[in-house]
Amino acid sequence: MKTALAAVALLTAALASHAQSAFFPQESETAAAEAASARDYLAAKERWHNELAAFARADQERFPAPGGVVFVGSSTVRMWTRLSQDFARVPGGVVNRGFGGSTLADCSLFARDLVVRYKPRQVMVYAGDNDLAEGRTPLQVLDSFARFANAVRAELPDTRISFISVKPSPSREQLMPQIRETNHVISAYLNLLPNSEFIDVYTPMLGADGRPRAELFRGDRLHMTDEGYRLWHSIIAPHLPNP
């Protein structure tokens, strides 16, 4: 509880700081930030060239109709091979834009490429554990998510934004305190963001002993089994549009 309250306090301070900089922008700071963002974007495009090219080919073959649901994020999304079948009744269909090994920072850079261009009615985001594994703090992960949400809302103000909580993987059990804090701060942020929601998969993936349920994970203790995806389907389905 103390962690959650501290997270909310930090979040409020961060939002106030962002608001102040929006009202009193410094031209040199703005130019520097835009240049850094452009460099990060170009570097990410180079890193994920093959994955982005595969998405482009899929779009050429059949461009998704607007008004559907886009799932975007890391390998947990990419490896959901039955995503279209599991959510076949969702109006407008679902689009899988997961790319393995990606971070929430990557998702924020590619928000226009992987979400906005499809004009979805809703976007489901799963990422963040790779950020933590690379050494980023929960507040840095929150900042990446806020950037993602701002990029989507700037062009799609009516699109619903749903964040799937960071999962408790056995291989990353040492990061569980940071995972919990990340989930707390993003949940608090979403409480302030209209037409958005936090979807908790973290808690149902824990056993009675408070540790990750081994049967939900593959041998690498990171990616999920079919049972894990069935659990996710049961949790996420009520948050999607009905036929």
User: pLDDT of 61-104, one tens digit each?
Assistant: 999 999 999 999 999 999 999 999 999 999 999 999 999 889 99
Report yes or no on 198 lying in a domain.
yes
Report yes or no on 22 lying in a domain.
no
Report yes or no on 86 lying in a domain.
yes
Mapping DSSP onto H, E and C, the string for 148-195 reads HHHHHHHHCCCCEEEEECCCCCHHHHHHHHHHHHHHHHHHHHHHCCCC
Q: Residue 33 above 70 pLDDT?
A: no
Report yes or no on 200 lying in a domain.
yes
Integer Cα distance of 190 and 16 in angstroms: 16
**How many domains does the chain fold into?**
1
Q: Residue 170 above 70 pLDDT?
A: yes
CATH code of residue 72: 3.40.50.1110
Domain limits for position 227: 2-13+28-239
Integer Cα distance of 222 and 2 in angstroms: 29
Report yes or no on 69 lying in a domain.
yes
The pair of structure tokens assigned to 213 is 């349920």
Percent of the chain with pLDDT over 90: 83
Integer Cα distance of 25 and 14 in angstroms: 16
Report yes or no on 21 lying in a domain.
no
Integer Cα distance of 113 and 123 in angstroms: 13
Q: Residue 3 above 70 pLDDT?
A: no
Q: pTM for the full model? A: 0.87
Report yes or no on 23 lying in a domain.
no
Integer Cα distance of 142 and 128 in angstroms: 9
> What pLDDT was estimated at residue 176?
97
| pLDDT 10s digits, 116-127 | 999 999 999 999
Backbone angles phi, psi at 237, to 5 degrees: -50, -45
Query: Strand pairing partners for 206?
Result: 212
> What pLDDT was estimated at residue 2?
44
> What pLDDT was estimated at residue 31?
62
Query: Strand pairing partners for 71?
Result: 96, 124
